[in-house]
Amino acid sequence: MTVEALFSTGTDKMEKAINQMKKEFASIRTGRANPMILDKVLVEYYGVPTPLRQLSQVSVQDGTTLVIAPYDKTILKDVEKALVKADLGINPNSDGIVVRLAFPPLTTDKRKEICKEVKKVCEESKVAIRNIRRDMADELKKLEKSENLSEDTVKDNQDKIQKTTDKYIKIADDLAAEKEKEVLTV
C-alpha cells in the first residue's frame, strides 16, 4: 500500500461513517412527519421480513401525519403489527384502507431526550472516525518500515492524517448541531 492509497482508503471510510450518521439522523423523530422514520420497519410478507417502504406508498399529510397505503391491502394488519413492534412512540390508526401515523407535538422532555440520542449517534460516529485515524497511523508506521520513509515524510503524513480526522469530526459536530436545532424548533 502506498501513502496515497492509505489516505484514499481512510477518507473513504470516514466519509462512510458520516453517511451512516446521516442515515441514523434521518430515522430520528423530530416534530414533523418524515417517511425516513419508517426505513427500519420490517413487515412479515409471505414469511419474509420486508422493508415497509417497499410494500406501500408513504405520504405526508398536513405535515404531522404519515399515510401508509399498502399496495397489497391484505397485509394491512401485518403493517399495523410491524409499526407497533417498531416502537416508534406513535400508535398506528387504520381505517381498513390506509394506516395513519399522527405525530403528536413533542414535549420539552421528549425533545431533550431526542437531543441526547442525537449526541450519542454523533459520538459513535466520532469514535469510528478516530478508530479509522488510528488504523491509518498504524498503516503509516508499517509503511515507514517497509519503504524506509524519512522522519519528515512520516511527520507530514501524521499531520495530514490528523487534519483529515479533524475535518470529519467537525462535519459530524456540525451535522449534530443542525439536527439538534431541528429537534428543538417548535
Please state which CATH number belongs to domain 3-27+107-184.
Answer: 1.10.132.20
pLDDT in tens, 126-184: 999 999 999 999 999 888 888 888 888 889 999 999 999 999 999 999 999 999 998 88
Query: Would you state the pLDDT for residue 73?
Result: 87
pLDDT in tens, 4-24: 888 999 999 999 999 999 988
Q: Which three-class secondary structure string do you get for the chain?
A: CCHHHHHHHHHHHHHHHHHHHHHHHHCCCCCCCCHHHHCCCEEEECCEEEEHHHHEEEEEECCCEEEEEECCHHHHHHHHHHHHHCCCCCCEEECCCCEEEECCCCCHHHHHHHHHHHHHHHHHHHHHHHHHHHHHHHHHHHHHHHHCCCHHHHHHHHHHHHHHHHHHHHHHHHHHHHHHHHHHCC
**Domain residues of the chain, as ranges?**
3-27+107-184, 35-102
- The arrangement of secondary structure in 35-102, i.e. its CATH architecture, is 2-Layer Sandwich (3.30)
pLDDT in tens, 40-89: 888 888 888 989 888 899 888 887 888 999 998 888 888 888 888 887 77
Query: Would you state the pLDDT for residue 186?
Result: 65
Query: Would you state the pLDDT for residue 182?
Result: 85
pLDDT in tens, 77-125: 888 888 888 877 788 888 888 989 888 887 888 888 889 999 999 999 9
